[in-house]
Chain A
Amino acid sequence: MTVYIDRSICNGCGSMTEPRCAEVCPGDLLYRDTDNKCSVRDHRDCWDCASCIKECPRQAIEIRLPVQVGGRGSALKAKSFKDRIVWSLTKPDGSVEMFDIVTKNDLKER
């Protein structure tokens, strides 16, 4: 398993035609389920591109590595802002490392 959706946080993007994670997934792997929360069609097909976790407005999604390739529970979450992204990496011992990375130039400079 790679993409984990916390269904206590996910609201299926409410009244939007399509949840934002489902809109962007390059593999078309996410969808609004019958309980109006998002589900993954097939975990095996996830590429780990993290598009969904960046897009989720409620930070309800995280990615982990499958056990087969050495996954031991580390998890990545992200919160996107207009011109930066803040990642939080939770390690197997529970410690958390944060990364604050610029994603777009200051548009005023252009």
Chain B
Amino acid sequence: MGTNTNTRQDTKTEVPGEIKVINMYSDIAIVGGGTAGCFAAVTIKEASPDTSVLIVEKAHVKRSGCLAAGVNAINAYLNPGETPYSYLEYVKKDSAGLVREDLVLSIGQRLNRVAEKLEAWGLPFIKDEFGRYKARGKRNVEIVGEAIKPVIAAAVEKSGAKVLNRTAATNYIAENGRVTGVYAFSAREKTFYIISAKAVICAAGGAAGIYRPNNDGSARHKMWYCPFNVGTGLAMGLRAGAEMTTFEMRFIALRIKDVISPTGTVAQGAGTRQINAQGEVYQKRYENNSTPLRTYAVVEENKAGRGPCYLDFTHLLDSDNNRLKEAYLNMSPGMVLKWADDGTEPNGKPVEVCTSEPYIVGGHGQAGYWVDEYRKSTVDGLFAAGDVAGGAPKKYVTGCFAEGEIAAQAAMEYIKLKPETQVDEEESKRELARVFQPLSLSEGITPDEYEERLQKIMDEYAGGISTDYELCESKLTVARDLLLRLQHDVGQNMFAFDMHELIKAHEVVDRILVARVLVEHLLYRQETRWKSYQERVDYPGRDDSRWFKFVNSVYDNQTGSILIKERPGRAGELS
């Protein structure tokens, strides 16, 4: 190998000892201890205390994933006047008409009940003068949510569900086309887990880090979406042959510049104006005010020389400043540091906004597993809920709870009919070898180096920040070829010098697979349905006659090929 390789001698580290193998059994295994996974676990234990439940969590349920820092609003809740049907209409309109109506409605029917459950678990909700949850908009309520993860984790512990923290899932155990468990490894020692289960619920996160982020180097993880959510749940499904949907509807967030903090806290219900550098309320220039168009508008204002763009809430009173700082401390504390470093108070000057790198998520966007109304994937024994479940955008925290509940109920029904499981010894040996291979090499390329390569390819050829998210066939085919080569090289040369690096190594493997499938989705949809999220400059118009349909994909893990298939746009339509 060339001079740019890293050797075990350079790093002076190795992980001593033999690999320990631990076999476990749980009636139902859950991948990921976030909102959907924890709610699924509690749902099962409350309905059926004798059913064993095991959550496999890469970090620690108390502070893992998207909600580690907390959240200061519930963004899917039906305030007085709203119904599950009006929620569906909103989601559909915001998503250019193409959503799975059955999935969105089933979420809408559960939103308020699951929110009340979160309050009963001990999370404070702010109340209005009538004692109702304090509305921030039609479908939002304010909460004091710094402790949302510890509160959820306590509910899981009380339920009797078991949690395997610091354990990274790597693949499903497959037996004759049925998923019968999960392979995983410990972040702390050379331990490989073979977890048999009659049913598996995937409730892992979406994917950040596919594209080059807003900040680099010392600030590379100052991003909105959790940088430790890398699409492993999606990659596991792909390798098991599960059908995926709508990866091409990427989610690009409008966020506060530099700290990439959420904007809803200051933009909603506060009379805030979105203005460009000339003080003009620019959104009226664009065809609508949908979520994708708010991102698109900022990109266009900047391209036209009218940037930067700002959120102007300088009309707020000095007495509001403390409330806003507390709201950010409960969700994104970097924003409070930003105001302090800028020497200003929240109402002191407008805050500049920017657009994030594209994320692949099912909670804001609709990328994820293709599931039926019970959240069963196309693979027997495998269910999906939350950020990995596709077709139902804008589900947010409460929607993830709702899907966790639906998947849990379906999994409980499913296991009644299923016999005990078996593990194919050859398959588990192959997986063990694959998992620990980066530790066995004596020299190679680090996960960081490959991650940078992936992000550069995606940024430049697949519509990242530096190219204003614009997509065209000629560049996407370059991305396709480069990703295929990268996937090959990573399989040969990636090197991990300790258990933490081994986790990162698998994160890169999983992200590259998600990126490859994403590029095929982006190539296939020859129209522009969601400006900025999915903007084909070679097919600039929306074409309902040809493209009112879902673009789905199935990966073949033997050949590495990706099959794209269409599903009718009316799939799941309510009669």
Contact = CB atoms under 8 A, between A and B. Distances in A.
Interface string A60-72: 0001111111111
Contact of A45 (B59, B69, B221, B333): B221
Interface in A35-73: 41, 43-51, 55, 63-73
A43 B146 CA distance: 23
Nearest to B68: A49
A14 interface: no
Interface residues of B, number: 50
B258 A69 contact: yes
B428 to A, nearest CB: 25
Interface of A: 1, 23-28, 41, 43-51, 55, 63-76, 85, 87, 89, 91-92, 97, 99, 101-105, 107, 110
B385 to A, nearest CB: 20
A44 to B, nearest CB: 5
A24 B63 contact: yes
Given A50-B69, A99-B326, A105-B124, A92 B59 contact: no
Given A25-B59, A43-B218, A69-B219, A89 B336 contact: yes
B190 interface: no
Contacts, number: 146
B475 interface: no
Nearest to A27: B228
B68 to A, nearest CB: 4
A65 B124 contact: no
Interface of B: 59-60, 62-65, 68-69, 119-120, 122-124, 144, 146-147, 151, 166, 187, 215-223, 226-228, 258-259, 322, 325-326, 329-330, 332-334, 336-338, 340-343, 500, 503
Given A47-B221, A50-B333, A65 B341 contact: yes
A99 B325 contact: yes
A67 to B, nearest CB: 7
B258 A70 contact: yes
B500 A69 contact: no
A42 B333 CA distance: 20
A102 B69 contact: no
28 contacts: A25-B63, A26-B65, A26-B228, A28-B500, A41-B500, A44-B217, A45-B227, A47-B226, A47-B228, A48-B259, A49-B69, A50-B69, A51-B68, A63-B337, A65-B341, A68-B216, A68-B217, A68-B219, A69-B215, A73-B341, A89-B337, A91-B343, A92-B340, A92-B343, A102-B124, A104-B147, A104-B151, A110-B120
